[in-house]
Structure 1
Amino acid sequence: MSAGFNIFLDLLMVAFAVPRVLPLKLPRLQKTGLIAIASLSSLVVISSVVRLIRISTLNTSKDLPWDSYDFTTWSSIEVNIGLFCATAPAIRPAVRAMKDALRMNSSPTTSQGARFPTSMSGGLELEDGGAFNETPPAVPANSRYWITKKGRVTDRELSDADSSKCVLDSVSTTRSPESGRTRSGTESDGEMGERRVKQGAQSHSGWKVPVSPNNGSGHIDDLLNTIPNTSIPLNILIIGAGLAGLSAAITLSQTGHDVTVLEQSESKREAGYMIVMGSNAMRVINKIGVDARKAGTVDVDFIERRDYKTLELLSSLDVAKDPKAPAKSYYRPDLHNELKRVALLGLGCKAVKLVLDAKVVSVDINNASATLADGRVFKGDVLIGADGERSIVKSSFSEPDCIQQAPFKILRSLVPTSVFLSDERTRRVLDLSHNRFLMFCHPTNSLVSVLIGRNNDLIDIECGYRRRKGERAIDVSDQAAIRARLLETFKEYHRDIRCAIEMATVTTDWEVWKCKPQKHLAQGKAVLTGDAAHSMEPTTGQGGSQGLEDAGALAVFLSNIGSKDEIPHRLELLAKMRGERTAKVVALSGVRLGEEEIIRKNYPRHAINRSSIKNGVEHIAFLYDYDVIEESKKTLRAAETPRASL
């Protein structure tokens, strides 16, 4: 009786699960896998039926102990198959975790025994001068890879007509291989943005997505061709191995300098969530050999604001107008790992030397040296402070530190895209956020932003609101308190947004700190970069992009130096140009893109009224149209021309 009841329940489970998987908008392979997992209980049914048949034979047995072995065997099979079915969904994450652990155990070590988790770098040497040369496979210059609707990759020669457009499988529009945007007829950017929301369902599986032969990475010699350096190589000392520090290390090593990076952690791992890199940053990233697929890039075509209650579209700003450097989103650890790979491999130039467990206790900005806690001293020709808001290099400048807590805070969560696909409400949010930096805005005191990264596999949900008086951060271990605060603070938001917030299993309470812009970004032989130079509010998503701009500028201003005596003068020119640019970016970093006209009208003393920016289109142009390498060249030529004429 119990065996028959168990068989009935197993069949019911299959009948319940499979029909709910079929309507999900997933790639065919992924959907097949889900159906297979949901159907595993049919194996239990088979074993149960066989077991039931074996039991019936015992009724006529004359030697029960001897004949029951078959029944006992199938009873064990049934139980073990049931255990396998229950744990099957967790097998892949477990295998992935084991692979990561094995990769960590085989990671290279420094001469001091510190490990560096280079997930893609094989056996790299960090301190003893060795280099590992990785030569990418040769690909015909005029070929393109196309990912078809069925997920197959083909390599074929394309004519000019083929490369200028590709036909969507389900929508009568065209998609530019370079820009990654679609347009039908003569529609405006706003109309295109609204139409693409309605086509969100097709966008997940119906578009042919072009991928460049090198997976979106720049050619290794792009930077050196753009910034030819025929002068003496400099010894560069960088403190901090975050995004800004590694970016600067790469651009400087690729222009011929010897670079050493000091990182205080024993195993530098980048923490964080999604990050947007605008066209201003992508112009640098595309030149240094970053592999787009390994970095997990996702296109960001629009920055949109929607009403927090009605989801009505308030503004849509096109941020993918430059076909050579469209905006992208990254999961910060993925981008950081890829920058480490590029830096440590050298990729056709000098490999960066990375020293871990190197806690700097003092610096000499006039002699470009740093002293570590263990007594070691590192010296260079240039000292770069990329060690964050509480920079030890910045503390040596003749300028008081001015870090302060921002008036708002952010509750941040990461949710797998597959989780969003499991509910109709969150699927609607996913469709709205496809290829967008999406903000659901309360008029005054809060917003929820949604950004997709890691090759469309991960969703970042950031819930920002004004800090209440006396409010303290909640420890990440107290998820019940964080969830209660989330639900209370955002209870008036649309039910689809609340559902998206509730999907998160782990949320962190992120305190936001900012600094006033530095008046002096360089002193002596030292210069600041990244958050050490321009900590800002995250609203415009320009923190990481400005760090990449710094890296591009450093490569220009430290190239073609005839004598090391010129270094202080070059750093002064760099600091003046970067200071003027970043002061404006920082002043406007708290403005929600698209609300410029509202702020100009309601807040006459706001910094935006002291600028020429009148609306979102002009704000995007100011941020994204900037080419730091070309601007640095112009500044350097203008400064050097009078001296040459003398």
Structure 2
Amino acid sequence: MKIVIIGAGLGGVASALALSRNGHQVELYEQADELRKGGYGVILWPNGTGILNDLGIDHRDIGHRLDRVDITSETGQPLVRVDLDRIARTFGSPNKVIRRSELVEVLAAALPPGVLRFGARATSVEEPAEGTDGPVVITFEDGRRVEADVLIGADGHRSFVRKHLFGFSPAEHTGWATWHGTTKLPVELTSSHRVQTMAGDAGLCVMHPLGEDMLYWAFETPWADGDMAPPGALDGPDVRNSAGPGGEPPSPVANLRARFAEFSSPLPELLASISDEDIAVFPHILHQVPQRWGRGPITLLGDAVHAVPPRTGMGANQALEDAWVIGRALSGKGSPAALLRRYEKTRQRRVKMLYHYAAATGKQGQAVPGLFKRSKNGISFTGFQRFQIKAFSNYLNTAAR
């Protein structure tokens, strides 16, 4: 079967690898001229690292193992703890934090030669007549026309393929944003296997050790005047809502230092070590998950169909779940359209559960830090986290995998 995938992000590259390993002829098209470098860190739970194992990826030397999560108040008082090592032993695969760009590069390096093609922007799609098994035809900006038995849109929450299928459906901003980056910071946390989250009235700060004194950090704050505007919200892709006293754009790091001034160590050390150039910001979004994910020989995966805020910590794992399920589904017997509907049906229940959870936590905003603050003495959330990981996973609920 010839399969064209649009978008070489995590979901696109992983699905290309899964389908190539199952003997399909795969062509993966990316509009950029190289793999994207952004994204900083992602957490892989045991379903994510287990799927990497299934894809033949040796992840022992990439990323950093996570054994524990400690959530504290802004003063350092223990609130919640999660025993990640126990969860890893339950499911037989580790929890890790990995730079997104490194993970995508490792997956791309495992692809057969010629699968990944850069500088290719899709501009139109021609579908076969309804009820027929004819090819789908994709036209690219340079005039190329490519025929395929299956088209997969893995092109993010502004998906061209999704727009072709269902028209324009913008994502909804939740009113929160993440400010994140990586920094070399020689404190105890960076050499440990412990995630530390600090929760207070200003928001959250989550700190993930990357090893070798490197720290991946992410601040979650409400969206307010003086912050960078969400893309497309104002005139231009990088417009800010207000200017500083001299008319200059407000400083993101000054904003964070002011908001989190009352937080205890290691936040003062972290905030003193970063500059505006270290910070990337993105608004939290929710994309309404459609009742149908595809039509005929076309389907969607990853953020193209179920973008959720990073607060869930599940986004990268869900892209890998999509890739794993679609790889298995398209190895079955039946027409391409029937096999794609099987993939969609298999994933929809788990994804809808995650969407409703993400919508509740995303729209409640300040209630989540408030919930943590009402916890006391390091109450264990290990069972709840284990339940969540399994509930949102097809991989962990498939006996013969």
Q: Tell me, yes or no, whether TM beats 0.5.
A: yes
Could you say what the CA RMSD is over the residues aligned between the two structures, in angstroms?
3.0
Q: How does 1:425-436 map to 2 (within 5 A)?
A: 427-430=187-190, 434-436=192-194
Q: Share of identical aligned residues, percent?
A: 22
Match of 2:208? Answer: 451
Residues in 2 aligned to 1:309 and 1:365: alpha-carbon distance in whole angstroms: 58
Deviation string for 1:21-40 (max 9, x for gaps)?
xxxxxxxxxxxxxxxxxxxx
1:499-521 Cα offsets, whole Å, 9 max, x none, are 21221232223333331122211
- Matching residue of 1:410: 178
Question: Does structure 2 retain, via aligned residues, the 8 Å contact 1:253–1:352?
Answer: no
Separation in structure 2 between the aligned mates of residue 557 and residue 450 of structure 1, nearest angstrom: 37
Question: Which secondary structure state, in structure 1, belongs to the residue aligned with residue 204 of structure 2?
Answer: strand
- Distance across 1 between alignment mates of 2:304 and 2:183: 31
Does structure 2 retain, via aligned residues, the 8 Å contact 1:291–1:338? no
Which position in structure 2 is the counterpart of 1:113? Answer: none
2:293 equivalent to 1:521:
yes
Closer/same/farther in 2, CA of residues 488 and 365 from structure 1, 3 Å limit: farther
Q: Which amino acid aligns with 2:208?
A: L
The number of aligned residues is: 363
Amino acid at match of 2:313: G
Distance 2:344 2:262 in 1: 46
Matched, 1:381 2:143: no
1:494 aligned onto 2:264: yes
Indicate the SS of the match to 2:31: coil
Structure 1, unpaired ranges of 5+: 1-233, 422-426, 603-614, 635-646
Which structure is higher in RCO with an 8 Å CA cutoff and minimum separation 6? 2
**1:553 paired residue number:** 325
Compared with structure 1, are the counterparts of its residues 626 and 536 closer, same or farther at alpha carbon in structure 2 (3 Å cutoff)?
A: closer
Other-structure match for 2:282? 510
Are residues 1:336 and 2:93 paired? Answer: no
Matched, 1:306 2:64: no
Residue pairs, 1:225-624, within 5 angstroms: 234-292=1-59, 296-318=62-84, 319-322=87-90, 324-343=92-111, 346=112, 351=113, 353-366=115-128, 367-398=135-166, 401-416=169-184, 420-421=185-186, 427-430=187-190, 434-442=192-200, 445-453=202-210, 455-468=211-224, 471-473=227-229, 481-505=251-275, 506-561=278-333, 563=334, 566-589=335-358, 617-624=383-390
Counterpart CA distance in 1 for 2:179 and 2:208 is: 14
d(CA) in 2 for partners of 1:249, 1:471: 37
SS in 2 for 1:523: coil
* Runs (5+) with no aligned partner, structure 2: 129-134, 230-237, 241-247, 372-380
Higher-strand-fraction structure = 2
For normalisation by structure 2, the TM-score amounts to: 0.82
- Within 5 Å, give how 1:16-35 maps onto structure 2: none
Distance 1:617 1:283 in 2: 20
Give me the whole-angstrom Cα distance separating, in 2, the residues matched to 1:572 and 1:504.
47
Cα deviation, residue 620, structure 1 = 2.9
Q: Which AA in structure 1 matches 2:205?
A: V
| CA 259–364 in structure 1, closer or farther in 2 if over 3 Å, else same | same
CA distance in structure 1 between the aligned counterparts of 2:326 and 2:205, rounded to whole angstroms? 35
In 2, Cα distance between equivalents of 1:531 and 1:414: 23
SS of match in other structure, 2:285: strand
How far has the Cα of 1:541 moved from its partner? 1.2
CA distance in 2, matches of 1:365, 1:277: 36
Decide whether the 8 Å contact of 2:67 with 2:194 is kept in 1: yes
Q: 1:587 to 1:436 in 2, by over 3 A?
A: farther
Structure 1 residue 487 displacement after superposition: 0.9
Per the TM alignment, residue 271 of structure 1 is displaced from its structure 2 partner at its CA by: 1.1
* 1:515/1:536 contact within 8 Å kept: yes
TM-score, normalised to structure 1, is 0.52
Which deviates more from structure 2 when the two are superposed, residues 623-632 or residues 267-276?
623-632
Q: 1:627 to 1:467 in 2, by over 3 A?
A: closer
- Tell me how far apart the structure 1 counterparts of residues 279 and 67 of structure 2 sit (CA, whole Å): 27
Q: Which has the larger radius of gyration?
A: 1
